[in-house]
Amino acid sequence: MRRASSITVLLLAALALAHPGIQGATGAAEQVLSLTGVVEFNGTLGPVSWGVPGIAVGVDGVVYMLNTSLSTVWVLNLSRSSPVSHLAWGEEWLAASVSTTVYMVSSGGEVGYAYNLGSPVTGVSWSPLGLLGASTLDRVYAIAPDRGPVWERSIGYPPVSLDWSAVSGLMAVGVLEAQRVYLLDDQGSVLGYRFLASTPVSLSWGPSGYRVAAGLDNGRLAVVDSSLAVVWARVLADNGWVRVAWGPGGLIAAGAGSGLYVLDGNGAVLDSRDLGAPVSGLSWSPDGDMLAVAAGDRLYVFTVTPPPPPTVTVTTTTTITETTTVTVTSTVTSTVTETVTSATTATTTVRETVTNTVTTTTTVTETEVVTSTVTRTETVTLPVTSTVTSTIEATTTAYETVTETLEKTVTTLATTTIVETLRETVIQTVERTVTTTYTEEPTIVTETLSIPITTTVTSYTTVTETISTERVTVEPVLGLLLLIALLVLLRRRLKL
Span 232-239, mean pLDDT? 96
148: helix, strand or coil? strand
β pairing state of 132-136 and 140-144 = antiparallel
Q: How far is CA 471 from the centre of its chain?
A: 98
Task: Using the Cα atoms of residue 49, residue 50, residue 56 and residue 57 in order, give the sign of their dihedral.
Answer: positive
Output the average pLDDT for the chain. 76
Q: pLDDT band at residue 366, thresholds of 50, 70 and 90?
A: low
Residue 114 contacts residue 126 (beta carbons within 8 Å): no
Please state, in angstroms and rounded to a whole number, the distance separating the CA atoms of residues 482 and 224. 133
| Residue 437: per-residue pLDDT | 46
Q: How far is CA 276 from the centre of its chain?
A: 38
Predicted structure pTM score = 0.64
Highest mean pLDDT among 206-215, 337-346, 447-456: 206-215
Cβ burial of 73 (10 Å; 0-12, 13-18, 19+) is middle
| Residue 486: per-residue pLDDT | 82
Give tens-digit pLDDT for 246-273: 999 999 999 999 999 999 999 999 999 9
Q: In this structure, which amino acid lies at residue 175?
A: V
Q: In what order do the strands lie in the sheet with 290-295?
A: 8-10, 33-40, 298-304, 290-295, 279-284
Residue 298 contacts residue 258 (beta carbons within 8 Å): no
Please state, in angstroms and rounded to a whole number, the distance separating the CA atoms of residues 24 and 33. 8
What's the residue count for the chain?
A: 496
Highest mean pLDDT among 268-282, 323-337, 372-386: 268-282
Query: By C-alpha distance, which of 146, 147, 120 is closest to 134?
Result: 120
Q: pLDDT band at residue 367, thresholds of 50, 70 and 90?
A: low
Please state, in angstroms and rounded to a whole number, the distance separating the CA atoms of residues 450 and 374. 11
| Residue 368: per-residue pLDDT | 56
| Residue 31: per-residue pLDDT | 87
> Is residue 119's pLDDT more than 90?
yes
> Is residue 127's pLDDT more than 60?
yes
- In this structure, what are the phi and psi dihedrals at residue 26, rounded to the nearest 5 degrees? -65, 130
Please state, in angstroms and rounded to a whole number, the distance separating the CA atoms of residues 214 and 175. 12
Q: pLDDT band at residue 216, thresholds of 50, 70 and 90?
A: very high
Q: Which structural domains are found in the chain, ordered by start?
A: 4-307 (2.130.10.10)
Residue 223 contacts residue 263 (beta carbons within 8 Å): no
Please state, in angstroms and rounded to a whole number, the distance separating the CA atoms of residues 269 and 262. 6
DSSP state of 306: P
Query: By C-alpha distance, which of 81, 192, 90, 172 is closest to 131?
Result: 90
- In this structure, what are the phi and psi dihedrals at residue 491, rounded to the nearest 5 degrees? -65, -40
Q: In this structure, which amino acid lies at residue 187?
A: Q
Per-residue CA distances from 178 to 40, 195, 397 (Å)? 38, 8, 21
